Structure 1
Amino acid sequence: MSALFEPLALRGLTLKNRIVVSPMCQYSAVDGFANDWHLVHLGSRAVGGAGLLIQEATAVSPEGRITPEDLGIWKDEHIEFQKRINQFIEAHGSVPGVQLAHAGRKASTYTSWLGKGHGAVPEAEGGWQVVAPSAIAFSDSYPQPVALDAAGIKKVIADFRSATERSLAAGFKVIEIHAAHGYLLHEFLSPLSNQRTDTYGGSFENRIRLLLEVVAAVRQVLPADFPLFVRISATDWTEGGWTPDESVQLSTWLRDRGVDLVDCSTGGNVEKAQIPVGPGYQVEFAERIKREVSIATGAVGLITTPQQAEELVANGQADLVLLAREELRDPYFPLRAAHELGADVDWPVQYERAKPRR
Structure 2
Amino acid sequence: MSTKLFEPITLGGVELPNRFTISPMCQYAARDGHVAPWHQQHVGSLALGGAGLFVMEATGVLPEGRITPACLGIWSEDHEAGLAKLLRDVRTYAPDQRFGLQLAHAGRKASSDMPWKGGGLVPPQAGGWQPVGPSPVSFDPARPAPQELDQPGIHRIRQAFVTGAERADRAGFDAIELHAAHGYLLHSFNSPLGNERTDAYGGSFANRTRAILEIAAAVRLVWPKEKILGARITGSDWHEEGLTPDDAARLANELADIGLDYITVSSGGIRSNIRVPVQPCYQVPFAGAVKRAVGNKVAVQAVGLIVTPQEAEQVIADGHADMVAIARGYLDDTRWGQHAADALGAAPAWHVRHERAGAAHWPGSKFRNG
Structure 1 equivalent of residue 217 of structure 2: 216
Q: Secondary structure at the match of 2:99?
A: strand
SS in 1 for 2:177: strand
Alignment map for 1:1-358 (pairs within 5 Å): 1-90=2-91, 91-92=93-94, 93-113=96-116, 115=117, 118-294=119-295, 295-357=298-360
Query: Structure 2 unaligned runs (5+)?
Result: 362-370
Distance 2:67 2:232 in 1: 17
Distance 2:102 2:119 in 1: 25
Contact 2:103 2:161 in 1 (8 A): yes
Partners of 2:201 and 2:260 in 1: how far apart?
A: 21
Residue pair 1:120, 1:141 contacting (<8 A) in 2 also: no
Runs of 4+ that moved beyond 6 A = none
Question: In the alignment, which residue of structure 1 is the partner of 2:364?
Answer: none
- Structure 1: state its 5+ residue gaps: none
State the Cα deviation string for residues 277-313 of structure 1 (Å, max 9, x = none): 1100101111121121122111111111111111111
What amino acid is aligned across from residue 102 of structure 1 in structure 2?
H
Superposition deviation, residue 274 in structure 1: 3.1
Conserved 8 A contact 1:103-1:184: yes
| Cα 1:118–1:179 shift into 2, 3 Å | closer
SS in 1 for 2:32: coil
RMSD: 1.3
**TM-score computed with the length of structure 1 as normaliser:** 0.96
CA contact (8 A) 2:139 2:270 kept: yes
1:85 offset after TM fit, Å? 2.5
Once residues 360 and 6 of structure 2 are traced to their aligned partners in structure 1, the CA distance between those partners, rounded to angstroms, is 18
1:204 Cα deviation (Å)? 0.5
Aligned amino acid, residue 7 of structure 1: P
Identity across aligned pairs (percent)? Answer: 49
Q: Aligned letter for 1:328?
A: L
Distance 1:87 1:19 in 2: 23
**Aligned twin of 2:367:** none
The alignment partner of 1:30 has SS state of: coil
Offset of residue 118 of structure 1: 4.7
C-alpha distance in 2 between matches for 1:11 and 1:191: 32
Cα deviations by residue, 1:64-120 (Å, 9 ceiling, x for unpaired): 01110000101110122211322345452221001000000000111133x4x6511
Label 1:242 to 1:181 Cα distance change in 2 as closer, same or farther (>3 A). same
Q: Indicate the SS of the match to 1:340.
A: helix
